[in-house]
Amino acid sequence: MFRLKQESLYKNFIPGRVSVTHKTCYEVISEDSTYTCELTGNMLYGRAYSEYPCTGDWVIFQPVDADKGIIFEILPRKRTLYRLKSGTTFEKQAIASYVDKAFIVQSLDHNFNVRRIERFMLQIAAEDIQPALALTKTDLGFHKNEVEIALRHIAHKIPVFFTSMQSPDSIEPLRRFISPGETVVFTGSSGVGKSTLINILCGREVMETAVISDSTGKGRHTTTRREMVLMEGSGILIDTPGVKVFGVTNDDTNMLSEVLDIRDFEEQCRFKDCQHINEKGCAVIKAVENGDIDKGVYENYLKLRKEAWHYSVSEHEKRKYEKSFSKMVKEVKKHPFKKY
């Protein structure tokens, strides 16, 4: 009896993957077609911002037309790239889910910034996602030696690709790095060439890119939505709009030390709970002083640790508030006429 009810409940429901997120609707790809879907009334309320569907999510939906549908359920997320929603201290924003690899894209001009690469790496490390670095616009001229020195402490953790849109050969290693069926997200500031890379990889203009005359100037937010495209016979690529500030939501400080390659030093500190600020016998500070840890890396370590602390405190406060709120709701349900 129960089975019958379940069957009828889920009749005409099909699974699909969110390929584009708009403000209030979602494009969902299923086995046979693409549907523009809205959420059921039930799904619209009582959700945190990060719990609404994001590009890459698997959903269960019901077609109501040849190209329209209603989403009833989001399947549990895996390998999701989050960021801190801009303007907030604890709200997460889901950028893409079911991601296998994440390309951190930077152009080899004023945009190149190792501290920002470290920031992205920390966030990607929070999930089981493989990071990769695409350094674009090599044709503009840059000092490879200097770049390699700047990446010394992270180069063994992340594959690095040097590319130029003017040299198709330079894109080939990147193409080989992407395996069939894999989902790959491209992230980085506006104007660095994320959409350009995706177009070259797909062999056609799937994404709009900024006009050529802008190629050396600052980005101007050409891509405005997170969108998934299929790379013929290979991976599934997700383009994202350029971000100004990428706030992290990974508050695991051990992981931070790991990403920044200071873990080995940390283990030699005299005190187990050493904060590496001014303690006696701190091996991290000693390493900074004698040049084994770059000063910039150390400063970013302190900065990211502070941000992580702010994030986890706000997150904790939020949970406390939600707990007391739901307790009150329960009380109200139990004693609807009691005065509060």
Which of the ranges 38-46, 50-58, 215-223, 258-266 carries the binding residues for Mg ion, by CB under 5 A?
A: 215-223
Which of the ranges 24-32, 81-89, 153-161, 195-203 carries the binding residues for Mg ion, by CB under 5 A?
A: 195-203
- 241 is a site residue for ligand GTP (CB under 6 A): yes
Cβ proximity to Mg ion, 189 vs 223, nearer residue:
223
> 190-212 as b/e, with b when 16 or more CB fall inside 10 Å?
bbbbbbbbbbbbbeeebbebbee
In the list 123, 138, 183, 195, the residue contacting Mg ion (rule: CB under 5 A) is: 195
- 56 is a site residue for ligand GTP (CB under 6 A): no
CA proximity to 189, closest of 84, 125, 117, 296: 117
In this structure, what token pair is assigned to residue 259? 């990403």
- 184 is a site residue for Zn ion (CB under 5 A): no
Cβ proximity to ligand GTP, 69 vs 193, nearer residue:
193
- 219 is a site residue for ligand GTP (CB under 6 A): yes
- Which entry of Mg ion, Zn ion, ligand GTP, none binds 284, CB below 5 to 8 A by partner kind? Zn ion
Which of the ranges 17-25, 120-128, 217-225, 273-281 carries the binding residues for Zn ion, by CB under 5 A?
A: 273-281
Cβ proximity to ligand GTP, 131 vs 219, nearer residue:
219
Site string for Zn ion, 276-305 (x = CB under 5 A): x-----x-x---------------------
- 55 is a site residue for ligand GTP (CB under 6 A): no
Question: 239 and 195 in contact (C-beta within 8 Å)?
Answer: yes
In the list 132, 154, 237, 269, the residue contacting Zn ion (rule: CB under 5 A) is: 269
Least CB distance to Zn ion at residue 283 (A): 6
- 195 is a site residue for ligand GTP (CB under 6 A): yes
| Residues in 262-281 that interact with ligand GTP by CB under 6 A | none
Cβ proximity to ligand GTP, 159 vs 241, nearer residue:
241
Cβ proximity to ligand GTP, 83 vs 194, nearer residue:
194
- 107 is a site residue for Mg ion (CB under 5 A): no
In the list 214, 292, 299, 317, the residue contacting ligand GTP (rule: CB under 6 A) is: 214
Question: 83 and 244 in contact (C-beta within 8 Å)?
Answer: no
Least CB distance to ligand GTP at residue 175 (A): 15
Going by their DSSP bridges, the two strands 34-39 and 26-29 should be labelled as: antiparallel
Residue 171 to residue 138: CA distance in whole angstroms:
11
Q: With contacts defined by CB under 5 A, how many residues of the chain interact with Zn ion? A: 5
In the list 89, 206, 274, 314, the residue contacting Zn ion (rule: CB under 5 A) is: 274
- 132 is a site residue for Zn ion (CB under 5 A): no
Residues lying near Zn ion in the complex (CB under 5 A) are found at 269, 274, 276, 282, 284
Residues that bind Mg ion (CB under 5 A): 194-195, 222-223
